[in-house]
Amino acid sequence: MNKDYSPFISKMDNQQLNVYLTDYLKYETDAVECAFKEFERRGLPLDLEQVKRIRSEMNLRETRKTEQLAASNFFAKNIVSDQSAPQLYSERALFMFSTLLAPLFGSVLIYLNLKSLGKREGSFFVVNFGFIYLAIVILLNEYSPIRLPVYLINAFGAIILQYWFWNKYIGRDFKYRTRPIWYPLVVGICLFGFFIFYTSFFVE
């Protein structure tokens, strides 16, 4: 269980405890499971079929909640809290770095993820994609008669990184824990600031 309700539930009388069997859908799954244990500790009778049915309905509710969360938050669908899962820079971080800074930063995040997973396949291609895409963006801004917003161009690169490189080399449904982004964020902001400074004062 994730949360320990026993200090609270152990102080209830039998009538209050029985509410967890009759109105179980009003309570968290951890609380209901704790109530089951309290029934056993007090030696109170429990209908095993009823317990089985309650657990089945609670599991169904948790599954629906998970599906709703995944549907409402695309980037969180593969994030877990299991300590055995590897830590990676998240898909959200990939998209934000790629869109707000440049896809090159997103490609570096995927490279670091592959490195932490011990996967060498794709590392060369993803970093080179970042540099090539950056060169294309610079050329478009310099010579294209059509001026597209940079963030829109970056977002297209982020989509390629997500749907091609991440899904191909890490896995569409690969489960992971999130890795703190502070270090790459600071580095990214410093490099981006240096780029703005350089182009503002040294490039005509």
Examine the domain organization and report whether 46 and 91 are in the same domain.
no
Examine the domain organization and report whether 82 and 181 are in the same domain.
yes
pLDDT level of residue 71 (50, 70, 90 thresholds): low
Final residue of a structural domain among 72, 107, 126: 72
Examine the domain organization and report whether 14 and 96 are in the same domain.
no
Rounded CA-CA distance 173/85 in Å is 13
Q: What is the mean pLDDT of residues 63-91?
A: 76
Dihedral sign computed on CA atoms, order 151, 152, 154, 158: positive
Q: Which of 173, 26, 192, 30 is nearest to 108 (CA)?
A: 192
Q: What is the mean pLDDT of residues 120-135?
A: 90
Counted domains in the chain: 2
**172 pLDDT higher than 50:** yes
Examine the domain organization and report whether 63 and 109 are in the same domain.
no
Q: Which amino acid is at 194?
A: F
Examine the domain organization and report whether 49 and 132 are in the same domain.
no
Examine the domain organization and report whether 155 and 136 are in the same domain.
yes
Examine the domain organization and report whether 65 and 85 are in the same domain.
no
Q: Which of 182, 176, 194, 178 is nearest to 119 (CA)?
A: 176
**1 pLDDT higher than 50:** no
Final residue of a structural domain among 72, 101, 126: 72
Final residue of a structural domain among 72, 94, 125: 72
Highest mean pLDDT among 103-117, 133-147, 183-197: 103-117
What is the reported pLDDT for 72?
Answer: 55
**21 pLDDT higher than 80:** yes
Provide the percentage of residues in the chain whose pLDDT is more than 70. 88
Q: What is the mean pLDDT of residues 155-160?
A: 93
Examine the domain organization and report whether 65 and 82 are in the same domain.
no
In a domain, 1, yes or no: no
Residue 195 vs residue 136, higher pLDDT:
136
Q: Which of 114, 131, 130, 134 is nearest to 122 (CA)?
A: 114
Provide the percentage of residues in the chain whose pLDDT is more than 90. 30
**199 pLDDT higher than 80:** no
Domain with 30, as residue range(s), is 6-72
